[in-house]
Structure formats: structure tokens, C-alpha cells
């Protein structure tokens, strides 16, 4: 019967072998893809790939206008994300966000 350590060792060896086979098969797949792209004149741009190795550009978001202003310090908050300390302080005093809403 195999011991726990022997089984772990076998698992690690199988992982190494699997990675080797993956690299070999991947090399063949890449060569085939390049051959087909060349044959049909397909570019990376045709496939929707960028020069940034497939990294997504992400959505560009515009800045959001402030919705609330601290009546004491004049600091503002958009209403998104974590509530700033001045909002928590106002709420602790029994006031609401409507009390500091920017018109």
C-alpha cells in the first residue's frame, strides 16, 4: 500500500509531465495557427487581438459630479463608494444626506 508521501510525490511528477506535454502540444497548435493565418492572410487585428498581448483596455469612465457637500469644511462626495467620515459624523448628529445635498 502506498504512503501519503509517495502519493504526493506521484502527483507532483504527474503535474510536471502534464506541463511538459501541454507545452509540446501548445507549440504544435501555435505553429498550426500561424500556418493558417499566413495561408488566409489573417492578422491579429482581424482576430480582435491588440499589441498589448490581449490585455483589455477597459471602459473609460467620466468623472462623476459631487452630490453632497460638508457644510462645515466644504468637502464633497459623489455618493459612490465608502461614506466619508464627515458624512458619518453628520449622520451621528441625526442629520441625513438630504441635509447636505448639492442643489
Residues 5 and 42 in one domain: yes
Q: Say whether both 4 and 30 belong to one domain.
A: yes
84 lies in the same domain as 44: no
C-alpha cell at 61: 469612465
97's CB contacts (< 8 A; 6+ apart) are 68, 79, 87, 91
Shared-domain flag, residues 72 and 46: no
The answer to whether residues 40 and 80 belong to one domain is: no
Name the β-bridge partners of 101.
68
**How many domains does the chain fold into?**
2
- Rounded CA gap, 95 and 89, in Å? 9
Do 44 and 2 sit in the same domain of this protein?
Answer: yes
pLDDT digits (tens, 9 = 90+) for 3-60: 999 999 999 999 999 999 999 999 999 999 999 999 999 888 888 886 665 455 667 7
Residue 78 belongs to what domain range?
A: 68-100
Amino acid at each position: 500500500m502506498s504512503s501519503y508521501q509517495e502519493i504526493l510525490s506521484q502527483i507532483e511528477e504527474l503535474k510536471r509531465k502534464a506541463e511538459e506535454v501541454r507545452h509540446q502540444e501548445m507549440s504544435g497548435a501555435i505553429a498550426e495557427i500561424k500556418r493558417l493565418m499566413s495561408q488566409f492572410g489573417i492578422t491579429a487585428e482581424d482576430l480582435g487581438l491588440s499589441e498589448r498581448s490581449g490585455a483589455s483596455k477597459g471602459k473609460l469612465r467620466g468623472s462623476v459630479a459631487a452630490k453632497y457637500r460638508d457644510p462645515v469644511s466644504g468637502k464633497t462626495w459623489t455618493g459612490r463608494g465608502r461614506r466619508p467620515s464627515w458624512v458619518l459624523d453628520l449622520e451621528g448628529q441625526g442629520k441625513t444626506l438630504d441635509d447636505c445635498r448639492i442643489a
